[in-house]
Chains A and B, each alone.
Chain A
Amino acid sequence: MSIVSTSTGAFFERARSDMKNLRTQAEGLQAQLSSGNKLDRSSDNPVAASRLRALDRLTSLSSIDAANAGRANSDLTLADAAMSDITDALVRAQELASQAATGTTTDEQRSSIATELDQIHGSLLSLANARDSDGHALFGGEGAGDAYQLDASGNAVYVGTPAAGELPLGEGQSVTRSMTGPEFLAFTDGSGNTTDLLATIKGLADALKGGATDPASAARDALGTLQTGLDTLTTGQTVVGTRLAWIELTTDRRSNLADLRSTEQADLGATDVTSTIARLQETLLVLEASQSSFGKLSDLSLFSMLH
């Protein structure tokens, strides 16, 4: 205010309002320091507040993306482990098939091989019905119960849904959380028929138990079919590995974006401690100066000079 006052009331009024302003400023700066936030309410900076709301929303949704990615990661890891176990079982089945294919193997031996193959069939069935982290069928797509069930004649039949569920990973990306059984167990054999590994092994076991007139030849055929099945399985496992790598990639990307977001949040909303302290010091200095000069000026009264 540039008015030169001659009125006592005006002098006190002006000094009061100036010191009140300084005091309010100092308190505002102190509040910023103690809360760590530049913005007390949206109207302090509407644009920044709106941006901060959007960033907070992204951060909160991103943490759910991270949880979903973790779930997909554990499901795929479980799938990978189950598929490795299936591979081991298949390798054993291949060994047994080549033993059975040898002409010198007796019928008794073939019969015991068939028994072991039945065991392998059983363990393959339970591996194909493995559970994911939520307790659902790992290879059953979005079905409610098991992935495979035995029909009346003991054949394993796929009862899941045609596709495995997808989980969003954020930023519009998603991942298929597992594979369905037919995707890595079903294949086309040498004669062009669609079959799957469980049926192949069951068929071989049945043939060796006397179901076939020439068990050795049936075992040789099965050897070729098993190799194709193993290839399909390996391809499936590669797909799972690729999906795991994809999750890792999006996780890296998510954490990079989270870093960027927190930097922006700090820029927009956090108190710049150094400059705020400097401004607080300056305000306090001015306030102190105006208080002491007010004290001196208000002491100056002509009445104290009159005797």
Chain B
Amino acid sequence: MGADLVSIANSGARAARTALDVTANNIANASSAGYIRRSVGLSELGANSVSSAPTAINLAGVRVSGVVRNADMFRQAEVRRTGSDAARAGAEVTGLENIEAALEQTGVYDSIVGFEGGLQQLLSDPVDGSLRASVVEQGRTLAQTFNVAAKSLDAVGEGLRFEALDGVDAVNRIAGELARVNLRLSRAADASSDQTALLDQRDNLLQELSGHVDLTTSFNADKTVAVIIGGPSGGALVSGGAAGTMAMTTAPGGTVAFTLDGNAVTIGGGAIAGKSLALTELAQDHIKLDAVASSLITTVNNAQAAGVDLAGNSGQPLFAGTGAADMAMVASGGGALATAPASAGAQSRNPANLVALRSALGTADPAGGMDALLFGVSSAVAGRSITRDALASISSSAQVALQAQAGVDLDQEAVNLVRYQQAYQASARIMQVASDIFDSVLAIR
């Protein structure tokens, strides 16, 4: 009987020490990313001996039934879903903001207004050399700002494609790691420390993956995970120990498409989707910028052809090129401006062709076209920013909700520390009592 008491006290002390270990581990990992609070599952140890009757009271102490991981599958899925949306919106807004900066800060609009102003001023004296030179220089500035804007848009596109490709690489890396975690999970003992660590790793990887793409997960009985990307009917990225390979292709306009193991897949969420959306917008904006530049080139060159320059020769094109990227001022000097109508001679002060050019520019309205382009991009940024803020706040709520349930609360750990310390001390005391009882039995003479 005394031996029973010692073994019960021993099991109690062992359980308390395990619980203290787990508490210490929780405290140590209070700020580890993705760490889920653990607790010790204890259950009574029932031991029937052959000699005792089935109804007899049998006391055998306590055993540690397992390390419990306080994870809520639903909240984790919510964090992944909302995080994926927030990442998509964030990446799209960042891309659009870069497009906006490329179009706005290069000052294309201002240089169009400057060119218009130069032409207007030339009306006051069409043969004035300095006014003519100023129009040509403003035209040169105009062509150069269009070049810079086109180059900046290209640079934004390059950056977005590079980041998208980096995202695809990250997806492939995470998929490989998930497949390895799946293999180890299927071999790990149930409810062991080893398994809980693997589960933490699995959930961390899933969350990281959800930042890049939208994913659908299903969990198997052995706690391995199957991941499908590109909507519920998309392709399988991870299935058991096998991982698929994602790849990116670039279309001529700079937009991107994705494949999984060679099959086309539509990515609807995550940063990769956001970058793809921004690239689509970028391609459209580039076309619009080219349209403004090309209409300006055509209008000015057509008007030039209808008049004669300062020397009385028929007007030559002012601008070369067909779009924003290759637009260039080709006039040799102010004299090349064809301000006078075709019938006029050299040094003519007749501004009829200049008036016609201004009226044609008024109809083509490059400033209005540029304003519409800027307005379109900036209102897209403004609208998407509101969506992004809403999605970020939803995602952050989901994360806090998960943290509140699965994270470590130091106050509670302090309570547990005291509780299991006392339990340990009590078990030790029981051992002493058992020893005292045994001694008193020995002392009988």
Q: Which residues of A contact B (CB under 8 A)?
A: 1, 3-10, 12-14, 17, 41-47, 49-50, 53-54, 56-57, 60-61, 64-65, 67-68, 71-72, 134, 136, 142-144, 161, 165, 167-168, 301-303, 306
Does B382 contact A44, Cβ atoms closer than 8 Å? yes
Q: 8 Å CB contacts to A: which residues of B252-293?
A: none
Chain A min CB distance to B335 (Å): 14
Contact present for A7 and B378 (CB under 8 Å): no
Residue of B nearest to A145 (CB): B347
Tell whether, in the assembled complex, residue B409 and residue A43 are in contact, meaning their CB atoms are under 8 Å apart: no
Which of chain B's residues have a CB closer than 8 A to the CB of A13?
399-400, 403
Give A143 to B377 CA distance when docked, in angstroms: 49
B190: A residues at CB distance < 8 A: none
B379 touches A43 (CB 8 A): yes
Could you tell me the distance in whole angstroms from the C-beta of B128 to the nearest C-beta in chain A?
6
Q: Is the CB of B125 within 8 A of A142?
A: no
- Given A8-B410, A46-B382, answer yes or no on A64-B404 (Cβ-Cβ < 8 Å): no
Q: How far is the CA of A118 from the CA of B100 in the complex (A)?
A: 73
- B297 contacts partner chain A, Cβ-Cβ < 8 Å: no
Known: A42-B378, A134-B128, A144-B347. A1 touches B397 (CB 8 A): yes
Nearest-neighbour CB distance to chain B for A186, whole angstroms, equals: 21
Given contacts A7-B403, A56-B113, 16 further A-B contacts (CB under 8 A): A1-B397, A8-B409, A41-B97, A42-B100, A42-B104, A43-B377, A49-B375, A50-B378, A68-B123, A72-B124, A136-B127, A143-B349, A144-B348, A165-B349, A301-B411, A301-B414
Task: Mark contacts of B93-131 with chain A using CB atoms, 8 A cut-off: 1 yes-contact digit, 0 otherwise.
Answer: 000110011001000011001101100110111011000
* Residue B155, interface by CB 8 Å: no
Bitwise, B115-154 to A at CB < 8 A (1) or not (0) is: 0110011011101100000000000000000000000000
Q: Does B371 contact A (CB under 8 A)?
A: yes
Interface size on B, residues (CB 8 A): 55
Residue B350 at the A interface, CB < 8 A? yes
Residue of A nearest to B348 (CB): A144
The closest CB in chain B to the CB of A14 belongs to: B400
Residue in A7, A56, A68 whose CB lies within 8 Å of B121: A68
Q: Which residues of A contact B30 (CB under 8 A)?
A: 8-9
The answer to whether B124 touches A3, judged by C-beta atoms less than 8 angstroms apart, is no
Q: Kindly state the separation between the CA atoms of A12 and B401 in the bound complex, as whole angstroms.
A: 13
Mask, B330-355, CB within 8 Å of A = 1, is 00000000000000000111110000
B385 at the interface (CB under 8 A from A): yes
Distance in angstroms between the alpha carbons of A144 and B377 in the assembled complex = 49
A47 cross-chain contacts in B, Cβ below 8 A = 375, 379
Kindly list chain A residues whose C-beta atoms are within 8 Å of the C-beta of B327: none
Q: List 18 A-B contacts (CB under 8 A).
A: A5-B404, A7-B404, A8-B408, A14-B400, A42-B100, A42-B374, A47-B375, A49-B374, A53-B371, A57-B109, A57-B113, A61-B120, A67-B124, A68-B124, A142-B350, A144-B347, A301-B410, A301-B411
Q: Are A5 and B403 in contact (CB under 8 A)?
A: yes
Q: How far is the CB of B286 from chain A (nearest CB, A)?
A: 18
What is the minimal beta-carbon distance from A129 to any residue of chain B, in angstroms?
15
**Bound: A61/B362 CA distance, A:** 13
Encoded as 1 (CB less than 8 Å from any A CB) or 0, chain B from 351 to 386 comes to: 100000000000000010001001101110110010
- 9 closest pairs, A vs B, by CB? A7-B407, A42-B378, A43-B381, A10-B403, A302-B414, A46-B379, A142-B349, A9-B407, A46-B378
B217 within 8 A of A: no
Measured CB to CB, the nearest residue on chain B to A12 is: B31
Cβ of B418 under 8 Å from chain A: yes
Q: Which residues of B contact A54 (CB under 8 A)?
A: 371
Q: Which residue of A lies closest to B376 (CB)?
A: A46
Q: Beta-carbon contacts of B391-423 to A below 8 Å, as 1s and 0s?
A: 000001101110111111111101101100000
For the complex formed, measure the closest distance between the CB of B392 and the CB atoms of chain A, giving whole angstroms.
10
Of A6, A14, A42, chain B has the most CB atoms within 10 Å of the CB of: A42
